[in-house]
Structure 1
Amino acid sequence: MQQSRLERAGKHRELIVLLHAFCQSPKALKPVKDAVRDTYPDADIYAPILPFAGPWGWLCTRDATEVVVDIIKHIEKIIELRSQDRAGGAGQDDPGEYESIILIGHSMGAVMARKVAIVAHGQPDRSDCPTLAAPFEPAFRAYLQPRPWAKKIRRIVLIAGMNRGWTPSSAMDWWTSTKWNVGIWVGETLFGGFPIIFDIRQGAVFSIQTRLQWLALMHYERERRGSRPDIVVTQLLGTVDDIVSPDDSVDYAVDTSNEEEGDGREKSYFYLEVPNSGHADVVRLKRPRNVEAEIARDNFVTARQPGQSAKAFKQICDEQRYVVFRRALCNSPASLAADPCTVNREQMMDSLPRPPNWDVTDLVFVIHGIRDKGFWTQKIARAIKQEAAGRKKDFRSVTTSYGYFAMAPFVLWWVRKQKAEWLMDQYAEARAHYPRADFSYVGHSNGTYLVARALRDYPAARFKRIVLAGSVVRRDYRWHDLVGKRVEKVLNYVATGDWVVAISRRACSPSAGSIWAAPGTTAFAMPPPAPSNRSATLRAHMVQATRSATGRTSPGLSYREICRRRTPRSRAPSSRYWAVARRDCWSSLRP
C-alpha cells in the first residue's frame, strides 16, 4: 500500500477511503471515485493498492489482520498530514482535521472497511453485557484503545460485501462453482490454507471475529442504544449477483441485530438494491447528464425495452448505479428509509433469524461426532432442558448437524477445519440471538475436536461449561490456559473400552501444532491450578468399559453410549453408570 494513492483536493474537509475487491485494483473503483468527487469536491480520497490486487492476487498469503493494520497505519499518516496543513500556512480558519471519514469497500474490500471501523473504535468495554465481549486478535493489541479519529467515521458503504463470508453457493453456475471448489482444494493442500481469500470464508477466524466484534460494538439493549457509535451503514446489493449468494452477502442475524422493530431511534443499517447489477459490474457507474433529476426519480428501468440497443441499455444501467450509489453515500437515514431502492429486512428472506432475546441466560451446544447422523443430540438437549425447567432455569439448545462425517475425510485436516468453521458460524448466529446467554457445550468424538479448535483459534469464543465424551483431543491440550478465563469448568468422560480412539492414538502421530489424536481412554494432563484460580476445575469421569483379550466387552458404557439418552444394551451395571453420567452432565452445566 502506498501513500501516493492519496488524492488531495479543495479544503480537505472529508477523508474517503476506497478499498477494492479481491484480484482487482483501485482502477476498478475509478467510477466510484469520480462519483465521490462529484459529491464531496473538498474531500481527500485514499485508494490504496491492497496486497491481493491484480490477477495474481489469489496467490496472496498475507494475514487479513495484517492488511487491516496497514490500512489503519496509512490512515493515521494521512490524518497527521492533514494536521500539518494549518501549520503550513493554510490559515487560522483551517481546523487542521477532517470533519468526517467515510469508508467504502467493494466485495472483499467491504469486509476490510468494516473491520477498520471496528478496530478504530478499540476493544469495547462490555461490562454491561460480558457475554458480548469479543477480544481482539493478537495483531490488534496496539489498538485496544479507541483511535482519536474513530468518532469521525460517519458512514460505511459496503458494495457487494460478504458480511457473513463466502461459500461455493448454489447461486453459482456449474463452471464457476467448479473453479471455486478446485481453487479451495489447491489453496488448502498446496498453500496450507493460507491464501488471504480464505480469511473471509464463512466461519473463518477473521470472518467470525469481525461478526462478533461488530456485535460487541453495535449491539445494545434498547435503553442503552445511545452508547453505540453513530455510524450509518449502507450495503449495495446487485439484483443479478451470481457470485455471492444473499445468505453470504447479508448477515441477517448480526448486521441489523441492534435495530429491533419499534425502535424509536433512527435506523442506521440499510440495504439498497442496485438494478441490473452483478458482483463485478455494480461498481461501473456513469454520471447522468441531469444528476439532480435522476437522483430524485423513484422508478428505474429493470429490463431492456423492445427495439432498444444493448449499448443504450448498458448506459441506462450505469447511470442508475450512479444514482443508487450517490444515495447510499450521502442521503440521511430518514431519506434512505423512504428510498424505493431500500429493501426491508423482512422482505429479503422467508425465514428470518429470531430477534434478540435478552432474557435467556443459558444455551447449550450438543454436537455429534464422526460416522453419526446426530439424532441423539436432541435427546441430550431435551434431557438438559427438562432438568433446567425443574430448577426454574431457561436453557436453550443448538443441536444442528454438520452432516454425516465419514472416517476418510476426518483424517484430512482442512476438512476438519471446515467443520470447526461451521461450528463457529453457528456460534455467531446464536450469540446474536441470545446476547446475555452463557454458552455451554456437550461434544462427542469429533464434536470434542471442534470445541478445542474453536477455543484455540478464535479469541472471541468462550464456553462456561464443557462436557467431553469419547474425546479425540490430545492429552497435552493447553486447557490450563483456558480454564478460569474463557472456560469455567470441563468434564471429560473417559471410556476405558474406547478401542476406536485407542487405535487412532497409536496409528497416528500428531504434529506439534495439531489438536487431534489425543487419547479418549485416559484423562487430560493438567498442571494443578494456580492458587488464585482454585474455583476453576477440569475433571475426568472414568466410565467402566474394558475389552478383554477374548473380545468380550465387560459391563459399562462404550464411547458412543455415553452421549445417548438411552439404556445401553448391556447388563445392569451399565444403567448405574449412565445415571451417573446424566447427573454429572447436568451438574457440570448448571450455574
Structure 2
Amino acid sequence: MSIQKTIDAPPLRARIKFLTPYGASKQLVVLLHSYRASAETLGSVSDLVRQAFPDADQYVPELALETDALTDPEVLAQHHCEGINKICGAHDYDSIFFVGHSIGGLLARRIYLNALNASEQGNGASHWVDKVERIILLAGMNRGWQAGHQLSLWNLIRWRIGAVLAVLHGLTNKSPLLIMSVRRGAPFITRLRVDWIDASHAAKRAGRTFPKVVQLLGSIDDMVAPSDNIDLVSGSDFYYLDVPYSGHANVVELDAREKVRTVEGAMVEVGALRRAVLTRALAAELRELKDASYIPSDEPVPEANEAITDVVFVIHGIRDVGHWTQKIARAILSKHKTAHGAILLEPETPSYGFFPMLPFLMPWKRRQKVEWFMDQFAQAKAKFPNAKFSYVGHSHGTYLLARALQDYEFVKFKNVLFAGSVVRSGFPWKTLIDDGRIENVFNYVATSDWVVAIFPKAIELTNLQDLGSAGHDGFKALKSEQYLGYAPTQSSGERLEQTFIRGSHSAALVEENWDAIAEFVVNGTPPDIPESIRASTQANWLAITAGFAPLVWIVIAAFLVLIGSGIWRLSESDIVSTILIGIYGLLLWKVVTRL
C-alpha cells in the first residue's frame, strides 16, 4: 500500500504530491500532467508505472496549468527542477524516468536541460541528471501548437477563438497566458528546441549518455496537428510509437472500457491497447523500441551537416514573395567559395509568403511572422550545428530579426545587413554587440525611400508600435559625429556601419550591388558600394516630408473620406448610394488586405 506525503519543495501555487511505495527505492518516476488537467488525470498512468516498476518512487506534482494561468513555463520548469533536487538530495536513485503528457512533456525536457546546465556550471543537479534514462512523451507538442487546417472544424474554431482572446488579453496584460508561451515559434518552444539540439550534439562529442526519448502519438490526435506533435529537427533521435484509438487528451486514459476489434478480429478494450504501448515505452529494451519505432512523417529526418561553418538567411519584406533572395544567396555563395576555396556556407531563403499592408500594421500578425522565422532558425540550427549565422533582410525582413533579438535572448548572429529597414532608429545594436550576440552590422539608407519615411516614420514619431524609420533616418547607434551623412568608417573601431544608396525602398537590392552585399556577409567588412548607386546626401524633399509623416497619414485619410463623400452624393437614391459606398469600401479593403 502506497504512502502519500508532501515534499517541502519551493512554493509556487499548488500542493505537490510524492508517492513512496517503498522507502528503499532506487528508481524515481516523474509524472507531469497536461494543460487544464491535474495530477489526478494521470491516475491510471501512475498505476501502470507501479505495475512496471513496483519499487519505484513517483513524483506527481500539480503544475498550475489552468486556462487562465500566467505562469512562465521557464519559471515552472525551474521550480520543479528544484523540487527534484530536494527529492534526489534526500534519496540516492540509480535511475530516473520522466513521463509527460502534452505540455507536461515539454516541461519534462526543459527540467532535464535546466538540471544539465546547472550540473555543467557546478550549481547542483550533478547528483541526479546523469541518472535520467528515459523521457516518455504522451502526445507531446514538441514543436508547439498552431491553429492549422489539419484540425477538425470544431477544434479549429476553438483554437482560433482562443488565440484571438489570448491576443486581446496580451494587449491589456504584461504577462501572456501560459498557453501562448507554447505556440509554435514562441521563445519557450524555440529555446527548448535549440537547447536540446546543442545538448544532444555536445553529449555525442563528449561521449556522454543522453536520455532516450520515446514519443507516444495518438492515432487520431484531435487537438494538436501532427506537424506540431512531431519535431523531426530537435527530435530526430526520438523513438516514435503509435497509440491506437487514441486522441490528444484520452491517450492517458489507460482504464477505458470501450472495446474495439483488432486486425486479428478479437474484441479488446481500448485501455488495454494503450497500456501495452506505454508499458513498452517504459520497460522495453532500446533494440525493441528501435524495431517498433517509425518515422511519422512523409519527410525524411534531416541529417546534421557539421562541416558547414556559416549559414546566411536572406529574408524579404511585405508585398513580396522573395524571388530575389535566391539570387542574392547565390552571389553570397559564390563570394564565399572564392574567398575560402570550398563551399562551407549554406544559404537559407525561406519565404513567409505574401504579406499585405494591413496585416503588416497589426502587431500580432507581425509577431506570427517572427515566430515563423524562429521556427526556421531552429531547423537550420539542427541541420548545421557548428555554423555561425548571418542575415540579410529587407523591409519587414529587418523587423523579423530585430524583434527576434529582443524576444529570444539566446539568438546570435554574425554579420547583419539591413536594407529598407522598418526597425526603430534607436534599436540597441551596441548593447547586442557588447553582449556578444552580434558581430557586425551594416544598414543601407536609401535616398528616396518614401515608404519608410512616411509610414513607419509616422508610427515611430507617434510611438504607437515597435516599427520605425531606420531605412530613412538610419540607426542612432550607427551615426558618427565626424560625418554629416552615413559614410562608412572603421576609424572609431566600431562594428556598426551604414551608408546612403541612391534610390527608393528596394535600392540596395539591385543586381549591381549583389557583390557588395556578398562581401559584407562573407567577410564582415563594409561593402564597396558601386559608384553608380553610391550617394552622400538624402533627397531634400523627402527629408522635409518625413518630418510631417503623421500629417501625411491624416491627409490620406481625409482624402479617402472626401472620395467616399463624393461617391455618396453621386445618386439621390439612398439605396444606390449605399451600394456604391459598399463597393468603395470593398475596393479599399482589397487594397489593404491583398496588395
How would you bin the TM-score normalised by the shorter chain? Answer: 0.7 to 0.9
**Matched AA of 2:32:** L
- Tell me the distance in 1 between the aligned counterparts of 2:357 and 2:124: 46
User: 1:289-300 maps to which residues of 2 (within 5 A)?
Assistant: none
**Matched length:** 493
The alignment partner of 1:253 has SS state of coil
Going from structure 1 to structure 2, the CA distance change for 1:69 and 1:176 (only over 3 Å counts) comes to same
Q: Is the 8 A contact 2:33 2:103 kept in 1?
A: yes
Q: 2:159 aligns with which of 176, 180, 191?
A: 180
Going from structure 1 to structure 2, the CA distance change for 1:7 and 1:463 (only over 3 Å counts) comes to same
Partner of 1:383: 331
**Matched AA of 2:495:** T
- Tell me the distance in 1 between the aligned counterparts of 2:349 and 2:223: 30
Partner of 1:18: 31
Name the one with the larger helix percent: 2
The alignment partner of 2:473 has SS state of coil
The alignment partner of 1:219 has SS state of helix
Going from structure 1 to structure 2, the CA distance change for 1:19 and 1:512 (only over 3 Å counts) comes to farther
For the aligned residues, what is the CA RMSD?
2.7
Q: Is the 8 A contact 2:190 2:378 kept in 1?
A: yes
Q: 1:5 aligns with which of 9, 17, 22?
A: 17
Please state how far the C-alpha of 1:536 moved relative to its aligned partner: 5.4
Q: 2:96 aligned with 1:115, yes or no?
A: no
Q: Is the 8 A contact 1:276 1:302 kept in 2?
A: no
User: 1:24-103 maps to which residues of 2 (within 5 A)?
Assistant: 24-52=37-65, 57-80=66-89, 83=90, 96-103=91-98
User: 1:444-523 maps to which residues of 2 (within 5 A)?
Assistant: 444-483=394-433, 485-509=436-460, 515-523=466-474
User: 1:157-176 maps to which residues of 2 (within 5 A)?
Assistant: 157-176=136-155
Q: 2:244 aligns with which of 265, 269, 275?
A: 275
Q: 1:208 aligns with which of 185, 190, 204?
A: 190
Partner of 1:587: 520
Q: Which runs of 5+ in 2 are unaligned?
A: 1-12, 481-490, 525-595
- Tell me the distance in 2 between the aligned counterparts of 1:123 and 1:465: 31
Please state how far the C-alpha of 1:492 moved relative to its aligned partner: 0.3
Please state how far the C-alpha of 1:443 moved relative to its aligned partner: 0.1
The alignment partner of 1:319 has SS state of helix
- Tell me the distance in 2 between the aligned counterparts of 1:438 and 1:124: 26
Partner of 1:234: 214
Please state how far the C-alpha of 1:590 moved relative to its aligned partner: 2.8
Going from structure 1 to structure 2, the CA distance change for 1:584 and 1:367 (only over 3 Å counts) comes to closer
The alignment partner of 1:190 has SS state of helix
User: 1:241-320 maps to which residues of 2 (within 5 A)?
Assistant: 241-256=221-236, 269-286=238-255, 302=262, 313=268, 315=269, 317-320=270-273
Q: Render the CA deviation track for 1:454-473: whole Å, top value 9, x for unaligned.
A: 11111221111000001111
Please state how far the C-alpha of 1:302 moved relative to its aligned partner: 4.3
Q: 1:351 aligns with which of 299, 306, 309?
A: 299
Q: 1:104 aligns with which of 99, 113, 123?
A: 99
Q: Render the CA deviation track for 1:460-499: whole Å, top value 9, x for unaligned.
A: 2111100000111111111111125111100100112111
Q: 2:317 aligned with 1:369, yes or no?
A: yes
The alignment partner of 1:371 has SS state of coil
The alignment partner of 1:112 has SS state of helix
- Tell me the distance in 1 between the aligned counterparts of 2:367 and 2:46: 39
- Tell me the distance in 1 between the aligned counterparts of 2:301 and 2:395: 29
- Tell me the distance in 2 between the aligned counterparts of 1:35 and 1:512: 57
Going from structure 1 to structure 2, the CA distance change for 1:584 and 1:527 (only over 3 Å counts) comes to closer
* Bigger Cα Rg: 2
Once the two structures are aligned, what percentage of the paired residues are identical? 36
**Matched AA of 1:100:** S
Q: TM-score, normalised by structure 1?
A: 0.78
Going from structure 1 to structure 2, the CA distance change for 1:510 and 1:172 (only over 3 Å counts) comes to farther
Please state how far the C-alpha of 1:121 moved relative to its aligned partner: 0.3
**Matched AA of 2:76:** V
Please state how far the C-alpha of 1:147 moved relative to its aligned partner: 4.0
Q: TM-score, normalised by structure 2?
A: 0.78
- Tell me the distance in 1 between the aligned counterparts of 2:241 and 2:460: 53
Q: Which runs of 5+ in 1 are unaligned?
A: 84-95, 126-141, 260-268, 289-299, 544-555, 566-577
Q: Is the 8 A contact 1:121 1:145 kept in 2?
A: no
Q: Render the CA deviation track for 1:154-187: whole Å, top value 9, x for unaligned.
A: 1111100011111112221112101111111110
